[in-house]
Amino acid sequence: MSADLAARLRALARDHHEGRLNLPTYRKLRAPLLDSLQLHAMDEMAVTQPRSLGRAAGAPAPTRKSTLAAPPPRPTKAPRVIIASVALLLIAAAAWWVVRPSTPHEQVAADSVAPTNPVRDVVQPFVQRGDWSDAIVAHLNVTLLELGQAQIGAVAGEPWFQRFVDDVRKRVKEQQALVQTPLTARSSPLAALAVTVGLDLNSPDAAIRITAPDTVNRFRTSESESVSAAQSEVKIADAPPAPRTKKSDADTSAPKTNSDVVSKAAPNSAPAVASAPRQSTCRPELARSRRPFCYDTLPSGKNGPQLALIPAGEFDMGSVAAASEQPVHRVTIREPFAISVHEVSQAEFNAFCEATGRSCAAQPWSGDEYPVANVSWQDARAYVEWLSTATGFRYRLPSEAQWEYAARAGETGLVPGGDKLSPTDAHYSMLTNLTAPAPRSQKFNDNDFRLMHTLGNLREWVEDAWADNYSGAPSDGAAVSSSANNNMRVARGGSYADGAAKLRLSMREGLPSDTRDALTGFRVLREVP
């Protein structure tokens, strides 16, 4: 027996004795080692036959007339005896290792290991691996169901199991927010796992329903449903990659000013919704999740604009780069909101024109994935009013403060990454004068909130009336509803025709509200319940 093989067998015996392996797992891992030991012993018998120390008296001398090997002798019982002896020696060695006194170091290690538990033996490796794909989740669910609800109930109150359930709960809520219909154990392996560990899919925040082994009978129906779900496939809304780490805002104080020039509108102002609200997929908990995306469904069955959930927060609005961007002031966004990932596209705007019988303006370029241009502020307002009625949820143009907060995504400089614009920050005229924006298929220039082309591409209408500066500007993210220039509205972000000098996160322009040109489009905001 090789030293390596013996060491591996001793390690398995020690792990079983000290509680790191249960008996079925220990036997399963030991079996191939014992098989290899038997093969090793048989190989040694085949190649290490004993040599003769001398010929017996009268024995004939060996002949050299042939170089062919002699036929092997018939098998005897000797190899079996030897194999059995080796196996007995191995078992004796393992038994001695189990009963031998532990050293102080080994005793401390053994004391720190909790008693073995079959549920923990499968859950903790799953958690450490961190793979929540459908196939892996379904396999875990089937394994837990085979162990039975009694075993799960026995560990339901332990802290490690509660942490695992909380992770399942969070992921179920995220997945539910991305689909149009309620999750069931048949439609989602994750939902099936949630049922198995005692979560209520209709109320995932409620306490788990597994408290003790005597509750097994209540879960028989859920178990059969979960097994079916573990063998099914689930389709959820596609989502971009996981969120990045955001930078923190600088802690600067904002000057307080008073003015009679502007008055603010309530941030929740929106057109009345005519149709009954449908089930919401844009839930506040998505704002800081790995998949902060949602959308609503139109009466045609098509999806509305893809939205990104923006968490509540505060930031310093404006800059000292221009008089119209001063004074820099602190703004607090108290409620999360959803805003379209892209500018509204030609396809999305055409759906509005077709549904309302409105005549759409001709576009400077053709393609469903291009942002719509040649839209006035009134056109943009008409679109969000229709979208509110069509979906049953409140859509509007973002306020200027909400737009800048979403565009900054934690940035505190003039442009993403500091004070110098790079080609990866915006679609703009850098070396040559561009003549068109980028379509959605060109996936670049997103910020840390996953919004595309907040700088460059097309400048974007916001709700606010134009004011020459931020004197007396709202501090709660509300839009400026009226000013001395009510016929002027604000556009943000710059366009593809602008150079770097006109592209910064605080840049603002005042345009007549009836402006229709090839440089201006818009994106939409959806209020979150």
pLDDT at 493: 96
pLDDT at 353: 96
CB 215 within 8 A of CB 157: no
Tell me the per-residue pLDDT of 440-499, one tens digit each, with 9 for 90 and over.
988 778 899 999 999 999 999 999 999 999 999 999 999 998 877 778 999 999 999 999
Rounded-to-integer distance, Cα 44 and Cα 171, Å: 56
Higher pLDDT, 272 or 79: 79
Tell me which residue of 424, 422, 421 sits closest to 438, measured CA to CA: 424
pLDDT band, residue 13 (cuts 50/70/90): confident
pLDDT at 329: 97
Higher pLDDT, 4 or 472: 472
Please state, as a whole number, how many other Cβ atoms lie within 10 Å of the Cβ of residue 184.
15
Higher pLDDT, 293 or 186: 293
Tell me the per-residue pLDDT of 157-182, one tens digit each, with 9 for 90 and over.
888 898 999 899 889 888 887 776 78
Rounded-to-integer distance, Cα 390 and Cα 355, Å: 10
Tell me the per-residue pLDDT of 42-76, one tens digit each, with 9 for 90 and over.
444 444 444 444 444 444 444 443 344 444 444 44
Tell me the per-residue pLDDT of 385-442, one tens digit each, with 9 for 90 and over.
999 999 999 999 999 999 999 999 999 999 998 878 888 889 999 888 999 999 998 8
Higher pLDDT, 360 or 109: 360
pLDDT at 2: 65
Is pLDDT at 113 greater than 50 in this prediction? no
Strongest mean pLDDT among 110-124, 147-161, 399-413: 399-413
pTM above the 0.75 mark?
Answer: no
Helix axis angle for 220-230 and 134-147, nearest 10°, is 150
pLDDT over 70, % of the chain: 70
Direct distance between the N- and C-terminal alpha carbons of the chain, in angstroms, rounded to an integer: 70
Torsion, CA 493, CA 494, CA 499, CA 503, rounded to 10: -20
Class of residue 347 by CB neighbours under 10 A (exposed 0-12, middle 13-18, buried 19+): middle
pLDDT at 497: 96
Is pLDDT at 245 greater than 70 in this prediction? no
pLDDT at 217: 37
Is pLDDT at 83 greater than 70 in this prediction? no
Which residues are within 8 A (CB) of 494 and not within 5 positions of it... i.e. 6 or more apart?
426, 428, 455, 456, 459, 502, 503, 507
Output the average pLDDT for the chain. 77
pLDDT at 218: 36
Is pLDDT at 196 greater than 60 in this prediction? yes
Is pLDDT at 244 greater than 90 in this prediction? no
Structure tokens at 525: 């905001």
pLDDT at 280: 63
pLDDT at 185: 83
Full DSSP string of 74-114: PP-SHHHHHHHHHHHHHHHHHHHHHHSPPPHHHHHHHHTSP
Higher pLDDT, 173 or 34: 173
Tell me which residue of 263, 322, 268 sits closest to 473, measured CA to CA: 263
Structure tokens at 478: 């509300």
